[in-house]
Amino acid sequence: MAHRVIISGGGTGGHIFPAIAIANALRRLEPDIEILFVGAKGRMEMDRVPAAGYEIIGLDIQGINRKSLMKNLSLPIKMLGSLLKARRVIRSFRADVAVGVGGYASGPLLMMAAGMGIPTLIQEQNSYAGVTNKRLGRKAKKICVAYEGMDKFFPKERLLLTGNPIRRSSVEIAGREREALASFGLKEGKKTILVTGGSLGAKTLNDCILEGLEKFSKRDIQVIWQCGNYYYEGLQQALDGRLGENVVLLPFLQRMDYAYAAADLVISRAGAGTISELCAVGKPVVLVPSPNVAEDHQTKNAQALVAKRAAVLVTDTSARTTLVDTVLDLLADESRCLELGTQIKSLAMLDADEVIAKEVLKLINR
């Protein structure tokens, strides 16, 4: 009889892509395995997971709204409803194991699974564990982490350092620089910067690049600028045809491998999944952590790299005045760029998806 695995979580690309990578690894190891995803209604996993070829069920759950207390009044009711639905899903699917990758849906699904005696595995992506995962970790059989020193959050004997699963197709860049530059209509021989604010875009990065385009133009630097769907139209209007041949503005990058291959330097937020891809790519990176995340975990992710001389950190509050000049100074310093690229590449853990998948299967076989 085929094994049955539930994978829960989502909310952002940083949670969804690792979840799909784990599912794909499980299928490679055990082709007849049955996999069901559980996500949060209205979040991007409800579209991205089916597009990857997997079934998903949505829970009516949300996170705590720190800006409007009134919007939190329905939280207890939604949590109760999600717990009850999670129990029905687990029973009807007859799950052998439940995997949580973070995001709203992980909490109720893994809490219910553990309470029903089903083994659970947590994949903690950040260097600072969130409140939900710390609670789930008390009953999880295995906690797979991407950073050292996570025993301050979880029982040491159940920890396994695996790294974060990444989209393998996104980091296979060897020998692709020429075709990558051509795909963006850019020229060989010029310094090229990739700016990415994650799947949703980042206002701070967009504002900085908009204000700094003239400085980049004076140095004849090319820019691949992924701004996010929400900001794309407004930026097009603000630029009013002033992009020029050196700047490519895109709402979303369909081919991250081309973007990484074309870049000499990357400006990015510091989400865990993005950092894991950047480690595999091995290019110099300037990280601007988002301040709008729980426990400020992006700053802690970035600091973990800075401590190993593997990235440069610019705070969100100082980015407007310092980011562009920091990037220009770094591009002019070839030895520093080489050191950053070498150091971040040394942190790559390329087989995290298969290592985690094997741990999931071990829990079933026990």
Residue 199 marked in a binding site: yes
Number of H helices, E strands in the chain: 15, 13
Q: If you search the block for the tokens 């949703």, which residue do you land on?
A: 200
φ/ψ (deg, to 5) at 247:
-125, 130
One-letter amino acid of 286 = V
Residue 14 marked in a binding site: yes
Give the whole-angstrom CA distance, residue 356 versus residue 19.
11
The answer for residues whose C-beta is within 8 angstroms of residue 200's C-beta and 6 or more apart is 12, 13, 228, 229, 230
Tokens read off for 141: 């059989």
Residue 167 marked in a binding site: yes
Give the whole-angstrom CA distance, residue 23 versus residue 6.
10
Residue 133 marked in a binding site: no
Strand, helix or coil for residue 26: helix
Residue 268 marked in a binding site: no
Residue 276 marked in a binding site: no
Q: Are 29 and 361 spatial neighbours (Cβ–Cβ below 8 Å)?
A: yes
Strand, helix or coil for residue 307: coil
What's the start-to-end Cα distance of the chain, in Å? 16
Q: If you search the block for the tokens 């503005």, which residue do you land on?
A: 249
- Which residues are known binding-site members for UDP-N-acetyl-alpha-D-glucosamine? 12-14, 126, 167, 199, 298
- Which residues are known binding-site members? 12-14, 126, 167, 199, 298
